Amino acid sequence: MDEYRCQQNLRSEQASMFEAARRRARLLKQGGGGQVGPLADYTSCVTGADLVSTARILAMWRDTNMFGVLGTPPTASFQVVKRQYRSMVLQLHPDKSKHDTADKVSAFMAVTKAFREVKVMFGIP
């Protein structure tokens, strides 16, 4: 029963994190004078430096939050998760990264393992 409560707490934390990201996106959209286009999905809220932040990735990995590692909401489709994974891997891959550190390599491995686990959740071999 404790494991179930722990999972529920993690889900509620993740839901609140994405709600905050949605609020930030709405504020950016309003403050940009209407120049920012509509958000097709809110995975676009976790982009750029925030998306590939090794501290964020490793913290989510320690919390076993696979969707959080990939920067996607738990309700995202597999296509959205796959797109997010590919963009992260291109930026974190040790052969592509100019500033290769132990944390970046750990983050790359965490993203790869998280994607494998999410594939299993979707029933894709």
Mean pLDDT computed over every residue of the chain: 78
Map out the domains of the chain as residue ranges.
2-121
pLDDT exceeds 50 at position 85? yes
- Model confidence, pTM: 0.62
Mean pLDDT on 65-90: 90
The pLDDT tens digits of the residues spanning 20-73 come to: 666 666 665 665 443 433 333 344 446 667 788 888 899 889 989 899 899 888
Residue 5 has pLDDT above 90, yes or no: no
Give the C-alpha distances (Å, rounded to integers) separating 38 from 8, 41, 47, 80: 31, 9, 15, 16
The rounded percent of the chain whose pLDDT value lies above 90 is 28
